[in-house]
Amino acid sequence: MIQTIRNAWKVPELRNKLLFTVFALLIFRVGAAIPVPFIDTQMLGTYIQAQSASIFGLLNVMSGDAFAQATVFALSIQPYINSSIIIQLLTIAIPALERLQKEGGEEGKKKIAAITRYATVAIALIQAFGYYTFLRVGTNGTSLLTVSGIWPAFVIIAAFVAGSAFLMWLGEQITEFGIGNGISIILFAGIVARGPSMVSGIIGGVTNWANGLDAKTYNVLHPAFIILIVAGMLLLVAFIVFMDNSERRVPVQYAKRVVGRKMYGGQSSHLPIKVNMSGVLPIIFAQSIASIPATIGMFVPSAQVEGSGWHTFLDIFDTRGLPYCIVYFLLIILFSYFYNTIQFNPVEVANNLKKNGGFIPGFRPGKPTSDFLSKVVSRITMFGALYLAVVALLPTIVGNIMFALGSSAGRSLAIGGTSVIIVVGVALETVKALEAQLMMRHYKGFLE
């Protein structure tokens, strides 16, 4: 990874793209530190910290602490992600949108992108109003606003919506002029920025737990659990990298053909099908859907009152709770299949092989080949989806065990595990994009 960045830095074009990406992320971090006026950020931060194991804590992690500080970028890129999910689902359900995406060409893609932007602003407006309602009601009847009235409400909602729209635009600029997927990189930057506080929270939780034990047990367990957590994280990263590079290679044979006096084809090749074809997107989308109960709860004043029905409902969807884990597990599998269906079309691949004189040994070109590829992709997708779901929930399970044993570090560990998957996945995707651009430049130089 470091060698790839060094090689890219030597190329002026790629160096400019890297500098543009870094500058864009710097703007993101500056905006994440600018608070919206009329809000008591100190009380809000204390409340979000106390709710670190809930969905509010998860939203705070995804925004890089901007949610707890009520900054301009408090909503982060969640509205854009939710909008993308909705538009992609509607593309399948509405024939007009499906034709626009498949047959509209470049103009159709631009129209779909414009619709997604409008939907993003609408969703940001709804979430901003919900966030304002949550701030106005406050905790246990104590408002988190320093000033009340129509004008402060307008300023707060407008600031949140403008911040979300600007992040959407910034992500698109990174995608076009920088390196990698801009939206994923912004999410990556937010999680990494909060990394030190998450690590200190885990260490502090283990330390407090160990200090509560007798001296004999403390000497045995305190360093052991710190080492165990670090080793577990390193093994998790190594396993994610291994699975991300895993693929099923389907053998392809090309028939010989004579063109003039020359003979073409006859060589053997393979069709690579990645185990994790959709990357970290199923996890990001699953988190966005799983955060809907907390978003709805923002609109209900009684949700912040202990013992109320809405408060109990939100407790059920605590990030450590069994219902949340089940919903999260099923959503990851659902979105893995959904994204792989969009990315890999067996019928189209089979037709392309047939046109180029290629075939899979043991299967006739056409429908038999497409049926075989569909079966292979279905099995691979199930394995990849289970990998994502299990790895995403494994830290939560370990965190629950530690919390049951009396360690508050389990709270940070549950959310931190999901963050590791996103950070590692986005880092790998960005490095691959950088390597692809380096390879493309080498080919250009060779041809010229």
Which residue do the tokens 């100190």 mark? 42
Please give the backbone phi and psi of residue 278, each rounded to the nearest 5 degrees, phi first.
-95, 0
Q: How confident is the model at residue 214 (pLDDT cuts 50, 70, 90)?
A: very low
Instruction: Give yes or no for residue 74 having a pLDDT over 90.
Output: yes
Angle of helix 182-193 relative to helix 150-177, nearest 10 degrees, comes to 120
Q: Is the pLDDT of residue 115 over 90?
A: yes
- Please say if the pLDDT value at position 220 is more than 50: no
Q: Which of 137-141, 171-175, 245-249, 393-397 has the lowest mean pLDDT?
A: 137-141
Nearest to 163 by CA among 75, 84, 59: 75
pLDDT tens, 366-400? Answer: 889 999 999 999 999 998 899 888 888 887 777 77
Share of the chain above pLDDT 90, in %: 22
Q: Calculate the average pLDDT of the chain.
A: 81
Least confident of 161-170, 174-183, 197-206: 197-206
Asked whether the predicted pLDDT for residue 218 surpasses 50, the reply is no
Tokens of 34: 């600018």
The predicted structure's pLDDT at residue 219? 43
CA angle 229, 49, 67 (to 5 degrees): 105
**Confidence band, pLDDT 50/70/90 cuts, at residue 212:** low
Domains of the chain: 1-193 (1.10.3370.10), 195-448 (1.10.3370.10)
pLDDT for residue 223: 60
Compute the average pLDDT of residues 189-193: 86
- Look at 17-21, 31-35, 307-311 and tell me which has the smallest mean pLDDT: 307-311
- Residue 5 has a pLDDT of 80
Is the per-residue pLDDT at 294 higher than 80?
no
Mean pLDDT over residues 50-71, rounded? 78
Dihedral (Cα; 266, 268, 273, 274), 10-degree rounding:
-140
**Cα(229)–Cα(235) distance, integer angstroms:** 10
b/e 140-170 (16+ beta carbons within 10 angstroms → b): eeeebbeeeeeebbebbbebbbebbbebbeb
Q: In the structure, what pLDDT confidence band is assigned to residue 158 with cuts at 50, 70 and 90?
A: very high
Which residues neighbour 328 within 8 Å (Cβ) at sequence distance 6 or greater?
286, 287, 290, 389, 392, 393
Residue 427 has pLDDT above 90, yes or no: no
- Check residue 341 and give its pLDDT: 82
Helices then strands, counting H and E runs in the chain, come out as 19, 5
* CB-CB contact of 398 with 405 (8 Å): no
For the whole prediction, is pTM greater than 0.85? no
Of 46, 133, 120, 90, nearest to 310 by C-alpha is 133
> What would you measure as the largest C-alpha separation in the chain, in angstroms?
87
C-alpha distances in angstroms, 72 versus 160, 161, 175, 239?
A: 6, 9, 22, 36
pLDDT at 34: 93
Mean pLDDT of 101-130: 88
d(CA 384, CA 444): 35
363 to 251, 257, 355, 396: CA distances (angstroms) = 11, 20, 15, 44
Which range, 150-159, 211-220, 253-262, is most confident?
Answer: 150-159
pLDDT of residue 9: 84
Distances (CA, A) of 242 to 238, 247, 278: 6, 10, 15
pLDDT band at 210 (very low <50, low <70, confident <90, very high): low
Q: What is the pLDDT of residue 221?
A: 47
User: Which residue has better confidence, 270 or 160?
Assistant: 160
- Better pLDDT: 216 or 295: 295
Res 146 pLDDT > 50: yes
Nearest residue to 431 via CA among 177, 235, 245, 239: 245
Tell me which of 71 and 289 has the higher pLDDT: 71
CA angle 267, 270, 276 (to 5 degrees): 170
pLDDT of 445 strictly over 90: no
- Token pair 């998957």 is found at 421
Residues 228-241: tens digit of each pLDDT: 777 877 888 888 88
Q: Tell which wins on pLDDT, 350 or 281.
A: 350
216 pLDDT tier (thresholds 50, 70, 90): very low
Instruction: Provide the pLDDT for residue 356.
Output: 79
The string of DSSP letters for 224-235 reads HHHHHHHHHHHH
Distance CA 264, CA 337 (A): 37
Name the residue with higher pLDDT: 357 or 127: 127
In the chain, the percentage of residues whose pLDDT exceeds 70 is: 81
Q: Where do the DSSP E strands lie in 198-261? A: 247-254, 257-259
pLDDT of residue 17: 92
